[in-house]
C-alpha cells in the first residue's frame, strides 16, 4: 500500500493536469462506488485465498502432529517391549546365579559365579541406562510421585552400602544434617536408585581407602519444597582429566583406548543428569586420577509437613563420653555427635576413660568395639541402658556382655535412635542373628509365561517354606484360584493371550473366586519405566516388583502381605 501511495504521488507530480480533470456530481459518486466494490471484491478474494492456504497448512500440521504422536506412541511401546525382552532373561541369569551360589556350600564355584553375577549386573545397568536415556530424549520418562520419609529412605540406602563396604573392608562414613526436611513428596524410587548406584560405584572404585557420603537439605522460603544436596567422596582410582572432559559423550563415540567402565559410567551419569533436571536439580563430577572422585547431586522435592530429621533443641547440652581406642572413624563420629550440639569428651586411654567414667555426669557412653575389653571391668551394671558399643555388622550384644550396640557407620540416623529413645534391638540385629522368616501355612501363586522365571521364583521362595504353585498363563491362574485360596499372587505383567492387567480385572470381578477383591496381587514386571509402578497401582495391583527380582524386595513384599 505504501509503494502504491508513493507511485500515485509521483504520477500526479509528473502529470499535474489529472488533478484538474477530476469528475464531479453523479459521475464522481459512481466512480467511487465502483472503486469501493472492486476493492472489496479484491480484499474478499485475497482473504479467501489466504484462508484456503491456511487450511492446507493446518491440515499438514495436523497430519504431522498425528504422525509424531503415533511415532512417539510406537517408540514408547517399543521401549516397553525392549525393556521386557532384555530384562526378562537378565532375571533368569541373575536368579539362577544366586541359586547356584546358595547351593555351592563348599565354595568351589564362588569366583566363577561372582564373575557371572557382576558382569550380568553391569549389563543390566547398561540396559537400564540406554532405555532411560531414550525415554528422556523422547520425553517419555515419567516421574512417580508419592509421600515418603527421608530417614527411612536413608536407612535403606545406607544399609546396602555399608554391607558392600564391609565386604570389601573399606571405611564408610556418613553425615546427615539433622535440620534436613523429613516428610516429603516426590519420586523416592528414582532418588534411592540414583544414590544407591553412585555409592555402589564409589565403593567398587576403592580397594583400600574410604567413601564419605554427605547429605544436607533445607526448606524453600515458603516451606513448600525441600532443596537437597548430596555429596559422595571416594579415594579410588579417580578419572583422568581427558576422560572427565568427554565422560558424558563417551558412549556415543568409539575409542578403543578408553576404559569400558568409563563409557558405562558416562552413559549412566548423563541419564542421572537428565533425571535430576526433572527434579530441578543438577549433577556434577570432579575427579583426580589416582586421588579420588567427588560427585555432587542436587534435587528438589515437595514438603508434606514442616518436620525435620532430628530436632537439636532436645539434645543441646547433653554430655557423651566416647572411648575411641581403635576406632578408625573417631573423627567422623565426633563430627556426627557435634551436629546434635552435644558436649563430647573423647579418650583413647583406658585410665583416662575410667577417671571420667567414675566422675559421672554423662548422659550416654559410646565405646569402640576394639577397645571394649580394656574397659569392660569398670563398666557399672546400672549404666547399661546408656552405654552403646560401636561395632560392625557381624557382632552381637552377647560379644559385649549384653551391652546395647549400634552399627557402623555412625550417623545422624543411629545417634537419633539413641538420643530420642527409638533404639530397638531388632533394628541392630545382623542378618545372621535375625530369625528366619518362614510361613509354611501360606499359599503363594506365581504367574509367568517364562518357565525359567518360574524356576527362579520357586527357588527364591523355597527358603520361606511356603506352599508355592506355578502357572504359565493368566487363564490357568484364574482356574487355579477358583479351586484353591491363595494368600499372595505374584503375576507377570506381559503375557501372551492375557496380560497381567486383564487377568487382574477378571480376578477382581470373578465371583467364583473366594475373596477375589481382597487377594493381594503383586505386579511382577520387567518394564523399568518411571511410571511403571504408578500404572500398576492405578490398575489395581497391591504392589509392584521389578525384574530382575531382588531378594530384599521380595522379602519386603512377603513381610507386607503374609
Provide the pLDDT for residue 382.
58
Question: Can you spell out the DSSP letters for 389-449?
Answer: EEE-SS--GGGGTT-EEEESSP-HHHHHHHHTT---GGGG--TTTSPP---TT-EEEEE-S
**In this structure, what C-alpha cell is assigned to residue 474?**
493368566
Provide the pLDDT for residue 135.
76
What is the distance between the alpha carbons of residues 209 and 421, in angstroms, rounded to a whole number? Answer: 34
pLDDT digits over 378-390, tens only?
887 656 668 999 9
pLDDT digits over 143-181, tens only?
888 899 999 999 989 988 998 898 888 999 999 999 999
Burial class (CB in 10 A: 0-12, 13-18, 19+), 272: buried
Provide the pLDDT for residue 525.
82
Provide the pLDDT for residue 254.
45
Provide the pLDDT for residue 26.
73
CA distances, 341 to each of 315, 317, 428 (Å): 7, 7, 25
* Pairing mode, strands 364-368 and 387-391: parallel
Burial class (CB in 10 A: 0-12, 13-18, 19+), 160: middle
| Residue reference for cell 577417671 | 355
Provide the pLDDT for residue 199.
94
Q: Output the pTM of the full model.
A: 0.71
Low-confidence ranges of the chain (pLDDT < 50): 254, 256-257, 432-434
Amino acid at each position: 500500500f505504501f509503494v502504491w501511495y508513493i507511485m500515485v504521488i509521483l504520477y500526479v507530480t509528473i502529470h499535474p493536469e489529472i488533478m484538474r480533470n477530476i469528475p464531479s456530481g453523479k459521475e464522481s459518486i459512481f466512480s467511487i462506488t465502483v472503486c469501493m466494490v472492486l476493492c472489496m471484491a479484491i480484499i474478499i478474494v485475497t482473504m479467501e485465498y489466504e484462508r484456503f492456504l491456511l487450511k492446507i497448512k493446518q491440515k499438514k500440521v495436523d497430519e504431522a502432529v498425528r504422525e509424531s504422536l503415533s511415532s512417539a506412541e510406537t517408540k514408547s511401546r517399543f521401549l516397553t517391549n525392549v525393556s521386557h525382552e532384555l530384562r526378562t532373561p537378565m532375571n533368569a541369569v541373575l536368579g539362577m546365579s544366586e541359586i547356584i551360589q546358595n547351593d555351592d556350600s563348599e565354595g568351589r564355584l564362588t569366583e566363577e559365579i561372582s564373575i557371572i553375577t557382576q558382569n550380568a549386573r553391569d549389563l543390566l545397568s547398561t540396559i537400564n541406562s540406554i532405555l532411560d536415556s531414550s525415554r528422556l530424549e523422547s520425553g517419555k520418562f515419567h516421574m512417580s510421585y508419592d509421600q515418603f520419609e527421608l530417614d527411612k529412605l536413608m536407612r535403606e540406602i545406607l544399609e546396602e552400602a555399608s554391607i558392600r563396604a564391609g565386604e570389601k573392608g573399606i571405611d564408610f562414613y556418613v553425615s546427615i544434617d539433622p535440620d534436613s526436611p523429613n516428610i516429603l513428596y516426590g519420586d523416592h524410587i528414582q532418588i534411592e536408585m540414583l544414590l544407591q548406584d553412585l555409592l555402589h560405584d564409589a565403593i567398587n572404585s576403592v580397594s583400600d581407602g574410604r567413601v564419605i557420603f554427605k547429605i544436607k537439605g533445607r526448606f524453600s522460603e515458603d516451606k513448600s519444597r525441600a532443596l537437597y544436596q548430596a555429596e559422595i567422596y571416594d579415594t579410588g582410582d579417580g578419572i583422568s582429566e581427558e576422560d572427565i572432559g568427554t565422560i558424558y559423550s563417551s558412549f556415543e563415540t568409539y575409542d578403543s583406548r578408553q576404559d569400558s567402565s568409563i563409557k558405562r559410567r558416562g552413559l549412566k551419569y548423563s541419564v542421572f543428569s537428565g533425571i535430576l533436571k526433572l527434579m530441578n536439580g543438577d549433577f556434577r563430577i570432579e575427579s583426580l586420577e589416582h586421588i579420588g572422585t567427588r560427585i555432587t547431586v542436587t534435587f528438589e522435592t515437595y514438603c508434606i509437613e514442616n518436620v525435620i530429621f532430628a530436632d537439636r533443641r532436645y539434645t543441646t547440652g547433653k554430655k557423651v563420653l566416647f572411648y575411641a581406642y581403635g576406632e578408625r572413624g573417631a573423627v567422623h563420629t565426633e563430627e556426627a555427635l557435634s551436629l546434635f550440639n552435644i558436649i563430647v569428651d573423647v579418650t583413647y586411654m583406658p585410665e583416662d576413660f575410667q577417671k571420667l567414667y567414675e566422675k559421672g555426669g554423662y548422659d550416654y557412653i559410646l565405646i569402640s568395639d576394639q577397645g571394649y575389653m580394656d574397659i569392660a571391668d569398670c563398666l557399672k551394671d546400672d549404666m547399661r541402658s546408656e552405654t552403646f558399643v560401636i561395632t560392625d555388622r557381624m557382632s552381637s550384644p552377647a560379644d559385649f556382655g549384653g551391652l546395647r550396640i549400634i552399627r557402623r557407620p555412625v550417623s545422624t540416623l543411629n545417634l537419633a535412635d539413641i538420643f530420642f529413645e527409638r533404639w530397638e534391638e531388632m533394628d541392630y540385629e545382623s542378618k545372621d542373628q535375625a530369625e528366619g522368616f518362614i510361613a509354611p501355612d501360606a499359599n503363594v501363586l506365581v504367574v509367568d509365561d517364562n518357565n525359567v522365571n518360574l524356576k527362579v521364583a520357586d527357588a527364591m521362595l523355597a527358603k520361606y517354606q511356603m506352599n508355592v504353585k506355578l502357572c504359565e498363563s493368566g487363564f490357568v491362574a484364574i482356574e487355579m484360584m477358583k479351586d484353591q485360596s491363595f494368600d499372595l499372587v505374584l503375576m507377570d505383567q506381559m503375557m501372551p493371550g492375557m496380560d497381567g492387567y486383564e487377568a487382574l480385572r477378571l480376578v477382581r470381578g470373578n465371583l467364583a473366586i473366594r475373596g477375589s477383591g481382597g487377594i493381594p496381587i503383586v505386579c511382577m514386571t520387567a518394564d523399568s519405566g518411571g511410571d511403571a509402578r504408578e500404572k500398576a497401582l492405578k490398575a489395581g495391583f497391591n504392589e509392584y516388583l521389578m525384574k530382575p527380582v531382588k531378594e530384599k524386595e521380595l522379602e519386603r513384599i512377603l513381610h507386607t502381605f503374609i
